[in-house]
Structure 1
Amino acid sequence: MKIVGYETFLVAPRWQFLRIDTDEGISGWGEPIVEGRAEAVQGAVTALMEYLVGTDPLRIEDHWQTLAKGGFYRGGPVLSSALAGIDQALWDIKGRYHETPVHELLGGPVRDRVRMYTWVAGRDTAALIDDAQAKVAKGFSAVKLNVSDALPAVPSAAEIRTMVARVEALRDALGDEIDIALDLHGRFSTAATRRILPLLEPLLPLFVEEPVLPEFARDLRRITDSTSIPIATGERLYSRWDFRDVLPTGIAVAQPDLSHAGGISEVRRIAAMAEAYDVAVAPHCPLGPITLAASLQIDLATPNFLIQEQSLGIEYGGGSALLDYLVDPQVFSFVDGHIERLAGPGLGIEVNEDAVRAAAADPHTWRSPMLRHSDGSFAEW
């Protein structure tokens, strides 16, 4: 079997899909994307596919090593994300070729269903609570929220008390049976994180995500030593080498992204590294259906998996939702906040190519929001 061609599709709200075709009529789908930089990743996919066309798609590991290391310049968000989408598509092809789900090729499932969490949001605390209670009513047992908007390096007493009060109100409304995860989105300095986390400890968050920017990830020991709250990070780390400096810092949860960190092949290795440090894995995934399907394949075969993010209900300003691109949306049906083990071959989903092509006829140009502090200076989104 040989690879004979490929296509990329920029689709709303902010995603990019890749289809790789073979001479035996088997095609695989991947999702190579850096949110806000889709066109750059599209160019990197084109460059990498020059090597792959004409080769055997089943030699996934050899292709991964060649594409990751053969260009002299390695890593980073664009190249790693292009490779990630290609890797997903190759695993999809291999699963379809062997007529089995990818998780079976990874050693078989270690669980029968995957626990999911959902995002909650609101313009004020009352709206936040309403949204959270609605999600819980749908069966979710875990929710996540952004704790703040743009923050200065040292937040004021008023800003800190407002953030803590918001989480206190949510905990009071949901009770202790519902897990609450907090995303700091890299908006906090180390000093600010060390100040606010002790105030949040009585509320027992499931984890606090990305308290500081990835540039400071190797310094996370200062944060983990200062709090009992489990610290999660990793959405902006792109390889096992990036995680090598982070895993020994005392973090509790690693969050590699299947569309950024080298795909199924590399996240599988990152998860195994994390297990050796007693670190759980919760793949980052505010993305499309292909990334979610790839994440679920990893979740099903990973002993130290914790919980899975998914983007249903997140508004990005586009009209399309994750389920719009699937032939059978029921594959992602939630039962008691879980998705049952995917049984279909490959990634376990069927992409609706007609819907993808229709969306790609009007390609998106989504960009990350640009925030400013009150004094006009740049602020982290």
Structure 2
Amino acid sequence: MRITRVETFAVPPRWLFCRIETDSGLVGWGEPVVEGRAATVRTAVRELAGQFLIGADPLRIEDHWQQMTKGSFYRGGPVLSSAVAGLDQALWDIAGKAYGAPVHQLMGGPVRERARAYCWVGGDEPSDVREQVAAQVAAGFTAVKMNASGRTDRLPTTAALDAVAARAAAAREALGPDGDFAVDFHGRFSVAGAIRALAALEPYAPMFAEEPVLPEYTHLLGRVTEATTVPVATGERLYSRTDVLPALQAGVAVVQPDLSHAGGLSEVRRIASLAETWDVAVAPHCPLGPLALAASLQLAFCTPNFLIQEQSIGIHYNTGAELLDYVVDREVFRFHDGHLLRPTGPGLGVTVDERAVREADSRTADWHNPVWRHPDGSFAEW
């Protein structure tokens, strides 16, 4: 069996899919994307496919991963790691179809029968949190995530800290003692500011606080973890085991690698194993499309230290299309009391609606994240 063609499709709202075709008729799908840089990643996918994959045996997944990540002098970073990630997902999809088994069976078999998931509430500028959380509880979810704040100063004011606490109190009230909420800092605070904000959150016992400082300050993260009882999470902007290791050494409680950013199933599987040696849980980052979620679920079902799954159905970024628009078998993504059931189909376990994908390709302009500014005109973290 040989790879004969690799295609990419830029689809609304902000996703990039790749399709690997073989001479046997088997086809694999993946999702290589950096949100806001889809066109750049698309070029990287084309380059990697031409150099390493066309004409090769698709079942030599690890060898392909090694070549794609190490076959050039300049390595790593979000663009190349995301290009590799989507191609790696597609290769695992082909392998599962070739062997007639879900990917998690090829990785050692299931360790659970359902995976807990959470929903986003509040948007970029969180408001009406109580009502939005209550709606998710009514829909059967037991966990949500929200931003700690909107645009804010690196050192938050007393009023900003009060707002952080008020949103947490509203979420806790709506969830009750048995529900969970996570708070995403989005790297908007300085180290000192994050410590102050975490102190405001402690009375409400969030499940975790995500990215309290920017990833470039991971070497300072230990100051944050030592100053709070709130479990600290990070990882969506870390792209390899070597990127994640300093966060583990800093004492995080949860790592959040993204299956479409951190080298795909192959590398995130290794990140999860590394995290297990530090007694750290894994909560895959996934505000993306159906293939990224499908890959995340394959990992969830064979990973003992899996905690909870992010997913983007109904997320505020999704305008112009939804996750379910690109799959034939929507039942795979049906929620059951806030959980997703173990997929049993071969490969990634989903059937892509290829006609819908081809029709949607490049239908909208590239998505780019907002660029925020402080009242004085200086740059603000989004």
The corresponding residue for 1:40 is: 40
The answer as to 2:62 corresponding to 1:61 is yes
- Residues 327-346 of structure 1 correspond to what in structure 2 (within 5 A)? 327-346=328-347
Aligned mates of 2:228, 2:197 — CA distance in 1 = 10
Q: Partner of 2:128: helix, strand, or coil?
A: helix
DSSP-derived class of the 2:173 partner? helix
2:8 corresponds to which residue?
Answer: 8
Cα deviation, 1:259-303, whole Å, max 9, x if unaligned, reads 000000000000000000010000000000000000000000000
Deviates more, 1:356-365 or 1:58-67: 356-365
CA distance in 1, matches of 2:132, 2:245: 38
Measured after TM superposition, the shift of residue 125 of structure 1 is 7.6
Aligned 8 A contact 1:325 1:352 in 2: yes
Computed over aligned residues only, the root mean square deviation of the Cα atoms, in angstroms, reads 1.2
State the match for 2:262 in structure 1.
261
Please tell me whether residue 163 in structure 1 is matched to residue 164 in structure 2.
Answer: yes
User: In the TM superposition, what is the alpha-carbon distance from 1:315 to its structure 2 partner?
Assistant: 2.2
How many Å apart are 1:154 and its aligned residue? Answer: 1.1
Match of 1:280 in 2: 281
Residues 1:179 and 1:240: Cα distance change in structure 2 (over 3 Å): same
- Post-superposition Cα deviations, 1:8-50, rounded to whole Å, max 9, x if no partner, equal 0000000000000000000000000000000110000011001
Task: State the partner residue of 2:76.
Answer: 75
Write the distance in 2 (CA, Å) between the matches of 1:177 and 1:70: 49
Pairwise CA distance, 1:319: 1.3
Which amino acid in 1 is paired with 2:8? T
Secondary structure at 1:115 match in 2: strand
Q: Distance in 2 between matches of 1:42 and 1:379?
A: 28
| 8 Å CA contact retained: 1:14, 1:364 | no
Contact 1:125 1:169 in 2 (8 A): no
Q: Give distance in 1, aligned partners of 2:352 and 2:316.
A: 21
Q: Secondary structure of 2:324's partner?
A: helix
Find the aligned partners of 2:125 and 2:154 in 1 and give their Cα distance: 23
Q: Distance in 2 between matches of 1:97 and 1:123?
A: 42
Find the aligned partners of 2:123 and 2:59 in 1 and give their Cα distance. Answer: 46
SS at match of 1:218: helix
- The runs of at least 4 consecutive aligned structure 1 residues that moved more than 3 Å come to 122-126
Paired residue secondary structure (1:220): helix
Deviations 1:321-365 (A, max 9, x none): 000000011110000100110000000000000110111151431
Matches within 5 A, 1:1-381: 1-50=1-50, 51-121=52-122, 127-316=128-317, 318-381=319-382
2-structure distance, mates of 1:259, 1:364: 21
* Number of residues of Structure 1 aligned to a counterpart in Structure 2: 381
2:20 is paired with a residue whose SS is strand
CA contact (8 A) 1:13 1:364 kept: no
Worse overlay, 97-106 or 146-155: 146-155
Deviation at 1:127, TM superposition (A): 2.4
Q: With structure 1 as the length reference, what TM-score do the two structures score?
A: 0.98
Amino acid at match of 2:340: I
User: Residue type matched to 1:300 in 2?
Assistant: F
In 2, the alpha carbon distance for the partners of 1:123 and 1:262 equals 27
Q: CA–CA distance in 1 between the matches of 2:116 and 2:173?
A: 23
Quick one: distance in 2 between partners of 1:122 and 1:246?
Answer: 26
Distance 1:59 1:339, change over 3 A: same
Q: CA deviation at 1:151?
A: 1.4
Question: C-alpha separation between the residues in 2 aligned to 1:316 and 1:363?
Answer: 14
Structure 2 vs 1, CA of residues 151 and 256 (structure 1 numbering), >3 Å: closer, same or farther? same
Q: For the structure 1 residues 266 and 160, does the alpha-carbon distance in structure 2 shift closer, same or farther, using more than 3 Å as the test?
A: same
Distance in 2 between residues matched to 1:125 and 1:175, nearest whole Å: 20
Q: Is the 8 A contact 1:122 1:128 kept in 2?
A: no
1:213–1:49: structure 2 CA closer, same or farther, 3 Å change rule? same
Q: Tell me, yes or no, if the aligned pair for 2:21 and 2:27 is still in contact at 8 Å.
A: yes
Distance 2:9 2:219 in 1: 36
Q: TM-score, normalised by structure 2?
A: 0.98
Which amino acid counterpart does residue 46 of structure 1 have in structure 2?
R
Bigger mean CA offset, 361-370 vs 85-94: 361-370
1:52 is displaced (CA, Å) by 0.6
Contact 2:236-2:285 at 8 Å conserved across structures: yes
Identical residues among aligned pairs (%): 59
The 8 Å contact of residues 215 and 238 in structure 2, kept in 1 or not, is answered as yes
Question: What amino acid is the match of 1:232?
Answer: A
**Cα 1:124–1:102 shift into 2, 3 Å:** closer
**308-317 or 105-114: bigger deviation:** 308-317
Residue by residue, what CA displacement relative to the aligned partner does 1:162-216 show, whole Å, maximum 9, x if unpaired?
1111211221232111101000011111000111212211100000000100001
Aligned partners of 2:119 and 2:136 also within 8 Å? yes
Distance 2:280 2:200 in 1: 24
Q: Aligned partners of 1:155, 1:119: CA distance in 2, in Å? A: 23
Q: Distance in 2 between matches of 1:247 and 1:189?
A: 20
Distance 1:69 1:312 in 2: 35
> 1:12/1:298 Cα in 2 relative to 1: closer, same or farther (>3 Å)?
same
Q: Which amino acid aligns with 2:106?
A: L
Rounded Cα–Cα distance in structure 1 between residues aligned with 2:280 and 2:318: 35
In the superposition, relative to structure 1, how do residues 122 and 32 fare at CA in structure 2: closer, same or farther (>3 Å)?
A: closer
Provide the rounded CA distance (Å) in 1 between the counterparts of 2:126 and 2:60.
52
Structure 2 letter corresponding to 1:33: V
